[in-house]
Amino acid sequence: LIVIGAVESALEAALHQDAVLEPGTTAWVAVPAVPCVVLPLLARRRFPFAAPLAVWLIAAGLSSIDGKLVTSVGVLFAAGMAAAFLLGNLEDAVEGRIGLVVTLGAAAIITYNDPGHGAGQFLVTPGLFAIAWLAGFALRERSDQAASSEARALEAERELLAERVRIARELHDVVAHHVSMMGVQAGAARIVIDRDPGEAKKALSAIETSSRQAVAELHRLLGLLRQRGDEDDLAPQPGVEQLGQLVASINDTQLAVDVTVEGEPRPLPQMVDVSAYRIVQEALTNTLKHAGASHAAVHLRYWPDELEVEVVDDGRGPHNGSAHGDGGLGLIGMRERAALHGGRLSAGAEPAGGYAVRVRLPTPDGAL
């Protein structure tokens, strides 16, 4: 269409010289000059600012040569409207405003150079092109709003997916820990029930406690799936302050666990606090299930801008098919928790024997 318009404008200037040209303007100047006003629009995609701007600059320059030519060729009016629209539709607001100024200024120059202009045309002609510019601007705003809405929808979808992954991880941690505890205690009770009923009763009591804790944790997690605005009477999520209770429940098994704290304890960001607890819980659960260890040590170190967590046991370390190794979902979950906060997690066998999980969780001011 642009090429057709350029050809049509050249033919109109060549065939209707008396109607479109001022006396004294030769056709050999006007005919090749007129298409030059239209043709820059061909480059509008590659040069979205310069191409429509060139339309107005060339048109204003051509009107200084022949004031009647630009206003008499209909294709040039259409090219000016298209250029004004494109300038209003620019993504860069500064370029768009510059385009408006150039459009109004060039339209005023063309009107001034037209020998038949009237006073009212200084308002009407620039006003028409200003309306075209505003149409482009309105379309750009609408497109931006649509893009913003789409971006918000995608962000909400990503947040929903992240929340599902978090809940799945929490469910894995809760179920794996408590079910493992109950399995170990049930096995211990089966072994000693005949010769030591008192010890068997203690093991069964630990199973009961662990099952109640599992139900409470599951109740809290399932509560996250309720609609927003529902009354929330669930217990708060555990943090490092609850490690004592966790260790006490594990000490009822055949695994002895010690906890040491270095540095000055301080309030932690909620999500960091929960993640630190869950990492210790998962590491001890893996030790209980797979390591065959008799002792584990949990070390918390409070550094100025991070929390270091270390869980070391004296077991046999990872073996094929074990969640204690790199392929287990438990270890993947711990890595995901560390990565969520920009932390670093390492896990592997110790040179002197045993297995260690170490993680550093940043705790900057203002962290969530």
Question: Do the beta carbons of residue 235 and residue 217 sit within 8 Å?
Answer: no
- Could you tell me the pTM of the whole model? 0.42
Report CA dihedral (44, 139, 147, 99) to the nearest 10 degrees: 50
**Alpha helices, DSSP H, located in the chain:** 2-15, 17-20, 27-38, 50-65, 67-72, 74-88, 93-113, 121-192, 197-223, 243-251, 270-286, 329-340
Residue 264 token pair: 């000055």
Query: Across residues 19-23, what is the average pLDDT?
Result: 55
Confidence of residue 323 (pLDDT cuts 50, 70, 90): very low
- Laid out side by side, the sheet with 295-303 consists of 256-262, 295-303, 306-313, 355-362, 344-349
- Residues 347-361 have pLDDT tens digits of 988 888 889 999 999
- Residues 28-74 have pLDDT tens digits of 566 666 777 777 888 888 888 888 888 878 888 777 777 666 666 66
Helix 74-88 with 2-15: angle, nearest 10 deg: 150
Query: Across residues 166-187, what is the average pLDDT?
Result: 74
- Residues 286-304 have pLDDT tens digits of 888 776 788 899 999 999 9
Residue 98, pLDDT score = 87
For 67, counting Cβ atoms within 10 Å of its Cβ (0-12 exposed, 13-18 middle, 19+ buried), the class is buried
Residue 22, pLDDT score = 53
Residue 10 token pair: 């050249």
Residue 9, pLDDT score = 63
Residue whose pair of structure tokens reads 């999520």 in the numeric block: 237
pLDDT at residue 24 is higher than 60? no
d(CA 285, CA 319): 15
Position 231, amino acid: E
d(CA 186, CA 180): 10
Quote the DSSP letter at residue 367. Answer: -
Confidence of residue 27 (pLDDT cuts 50, 70, 90): low
CA 195 to chain centre: 61
For 45, counting Cβ atoms within 10 Å of its Cβ (0-12 exposed, 13-18 middle, 19+ buried), the class is exposed
- Of the candidates 333, 338, 329, the one whose C-alpha atom is nearest the C-alpha of residue 272 is 338
